[in-house]
């Protein structure tokens, strides 16, 4: 990537020496800016993206959440579990295997401080008085005991808990001799780890697509899912990204059928999507089939529901053979599972 750019820069330099016109100076200037900019875009941005994602899975996150929620309730504070995850990611060099309830509590305690405060509170006191009342039977005045109440103000001591700012905790860890890079911790916090919690697949192992039959399942005989619709950490890019469809686990070369009657509007390679087929169905809904190994249809073809349109592959940005399958309604990706169960 860098070599041709250097070549261009050298050529531009020679051109500059030959004719020093304002336009060639401008062109040379643009090239000078483009080289470092390209290097930044190509190398530095992907590296920083990978570094910002804590290496936690859903069970790790749930452990942090549970422990922190318990502390927050007990001490009535608002400790943020994301901060603890970010610190542990930096302290433990991204290894979360030794994290337990007690290590999380120990770290949480570094955020907490308390003070004793006296507070006023009201209490109702009851007392009895004697009053004279007319007895309606004897028609005489009699002394009776009557219970009355009054509000009294009292004081008591209470423990009030507070949370230190993140920076204070980081400074105290550093002063304890813990090797910690503040910026690294902040980087780990730039991704909302709530996104890590992919919706769990509540499908049984022998699940088969059902539903109304409006859409035909695109990979006959293959129903396993690698990823479902929703927020997830991209398996290759390692960044939080919305997953627009289903990743159906199917072997290389397995046939893919059209979900509905429609018109093929695309059957070509498309970057990260690999070999892609887009079909606009007769009812104006849209299906997308990505990462194919090969096509059986071409742009402009009219297809029938259930007709083979191509074959499963792993082209584009993909970790192995699977079909990425989308249903779009009015252009918006919709959860395909809604139509199959
Ligand atoms: Zn996918």
Are residues 150 and 26 part of one domain? no
Q: How far is the CA of 151 from the centre of ligand 1 (A)?
A: 66
Q: How far is the CA of 270 from the centre of ligand 1 (A)?
A: 14
Q: How far is the CA of 205 from the centre of ligand 1 (A)?
A: 20
Q: How far is the CA of 160 from the centre of ligand 1 (A)?
A: 49
Residues 6 or more apart from 149 whose CB is under 8 A from it? Answer: 124, 125, 126, 127
Are residues 47 and 170 part of one domain? no
Q: How far is the CA of 234 from the centre of ligand 1 (A)?
A: 9
Q: How far is the CA of 272 from the centre of ligand 1 (A)?
A: 10
Are residues 250 and 141 part of one domain? no
Are residues 141 and 126 part of one domain? yes
Residue 311, domain member (yes or no): yes
Q: How far is the CA of 243 from the centre of ligand 1 (A)?
A: 6
What's residue 5's pLDDT?
46
Beta bridge partners of 308: 257
What's residue 301's pLDDT?
97
Q: E strands within 49-184?
A: 112-134, 141-163
Residue 205, domain member (yes or no): no
- pLDDT less than 50: residues of the chain: 1-6, 8-10, 12-13, 15-17, 45-50, 198
Q: How far is the CA of 168 from the centre of ligand 1 (A)?
A: 42
Q: How far is the CA of 245 from the centre of ligand 1 (A)?
A: 6
Q: How far is the CA of 329 from the centre of ligand 1 (A)?
A: 18
- Decide: helix, strand or coil at residue 272: helix
Residue 144, domain member (yes or no): yes
Return the number of other C-beta atoms located less than 10 Å from residue 271's C-beta.
8
Are residues 137 and 64 part of one domain? no
Residue 214, domain member (yes or no): no
Is 292 exposed, middle or buried, given 0-12, 13-18 or 19+ CB atoms closer than 10 A? buried
As given in the structure block, the two tokens for residue 125 are 């006191």
Q: How far is the CA of 215 from the centre of ligand 1 (A)?
A: 18
* Bridge-based pairing state of the strands 308-311 and 302-303: unpaired
Are residues 289 and 189 part of one domain? no
Residue 206, domain member (yes or no): no
Q: How far is the CA of 319 from the centre of ligand 1 (A)?
A: 10
Q: How far is the CA of 115 from the centre of ligand 1 (A)?
A: 52
Residue 215, domain member (yes or no): no
Residue 220, domain member (yes or no): no
Q: How far is the CA of 232 from the centre of ligand 1 (A)?
A: 10
Domain boundary among 51, 66, 85: 51
Q: How far is the CA of 94 from the centre of ligand 1 (A)?
A: 26
Q: How far is the CA of 313 from the centre of ligand 1 (A)?
A: 12
- Per-residue pLDDT of 252-299, as tens digits, reads 999 999 999 999 999 999 988 999 999 999 999 999 999 999 999 999
As given in the structure block, the two tokens for residue 269 are 């390679």
Q: How far is the CA of 295 from the centre of ligand 1 (A)?
A: 18
For residue 152, give its domain range: 116-159
Could you give the angle at which helices 81-91 and 101-109 cross, rounded to 10 degrees? 100
Domain count, the chain: 4
CA distance 19 to 9: 15
Helices (H), ranges, 176-235: 182-188
Residue 45, domain member (yes or no): yes
CA distance 324 to 288: 8
Are residues 154 and 254 part of one domain? no
Q: How far is the CA of 183 from the centre of ligand 1 (A)?
A: 32
Are residues 67 and 179 part of one domain? yes
Is 304 exposed, middle or buried, given 0-12, 13-18 or 19+ CB atoms closer than 10 A? exposed
Are residues 146 and 27 part of one domain? no
Long-range contacts of 267-272 (CB under 8 A, 24+ apart): 267/295, 267/297, 267/298, 267/299, 267/301, 267/309, 267/310, 268/299, 269/315, 269/316, 270/316, 271/316, 271/317, 272/316, 272/317
Residues 6 or more apart from 176 whose CB is under 8 A from it? Answer: none
Are residues 149 and 90 part of one domain? no
The sign of the CA dihedral 44, 50, 54, 55 is: negative
Q: How far is the CA of 100 from the centre of ligand 1 (A)?
A: 33
Are residues 240 and 171 part of one domain? no
Q: How far is the CA of 324 from the centre of ligand 1 (A)?
A: 4
Q: How far is the CA of 285 from the centre of ligand 1 (A)?
A: 19
- What is the domain-level CATH number for residue 309? 2.70.70.10
Are residues 127 and 179 part of one domain? no
Q: Are 261 and 303 in contact (CB under 8 A)?
A: yes
The sign of the CA dihedral 17, 20, 24, 27 is: positive
């Amino acid at each position: 990537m860098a070599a041709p750019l250097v070549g261009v820069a050298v050529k531009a330099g020679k051109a500059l020496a030959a004719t020093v016109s304002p336009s060639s100076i401008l062109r040379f200037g643009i090239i000078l800016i483009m080289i470092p900019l390209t290097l930044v875009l190509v190398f530095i941005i992907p590296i920083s993206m990978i570094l910002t994602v804590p290496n936690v899975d859903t069970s790790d996150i749930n452990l942090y959440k549970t422990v922190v929620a318990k502390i927050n309730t007990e001490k009535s504070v608002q400790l943020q579990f994301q901060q603890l995850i970010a610190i542990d990611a930096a302290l433990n060099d991204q290894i979360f295997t030794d994290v337990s309830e007690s290590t999380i509590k120990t770290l949480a305690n570094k955020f907490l401080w308390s003070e004793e405060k006296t507070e006023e509170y009201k209490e109702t006191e009851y007392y009895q008085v004697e009053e004279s009342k007319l007895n309606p039977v004897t028609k005489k005045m009699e002394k009776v005991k009557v219970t009355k109440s009054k509000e009294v103000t009292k004081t008591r001591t209470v423990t009030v808990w507070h949370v230190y700012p993140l920076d204070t905790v980081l400074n105290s860890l550093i002063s304890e001799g813990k090797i910690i890079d503040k910026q690294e911790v902040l980087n780990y916090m730039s991704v909302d780890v709530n996104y890590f919690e992919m919706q769990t697949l509540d499908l049984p192992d022998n699940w088969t697509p059902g539903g109304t039959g409006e859409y035909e399942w695109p990979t006959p005989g293959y129903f396993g899912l690698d990823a479902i619709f929703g927020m997830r950490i991209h398996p290759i890019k390692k960044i939080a990204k919305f997953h627009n469809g289903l990743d159906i686990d199917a072997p290389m070369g397995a046939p893919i059928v059209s979900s509905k009657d429609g018109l093929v509007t695309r059957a070509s390679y498309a970057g990260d999507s690999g070999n892609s087929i887009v079909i606009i169905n007769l009812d104006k809904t849209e299906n997308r089939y990505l990462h194919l190994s090969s096509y059986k249809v071409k742009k402009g073809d009219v297809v029938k529901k259930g007709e083979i349109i191509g074959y499963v592959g792993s082209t584009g940005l993909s970790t192995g053979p699977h079909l990425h399958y989308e249903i779009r309604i009015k252009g918006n990706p919709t959860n395909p599972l809604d139509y199959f169960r």
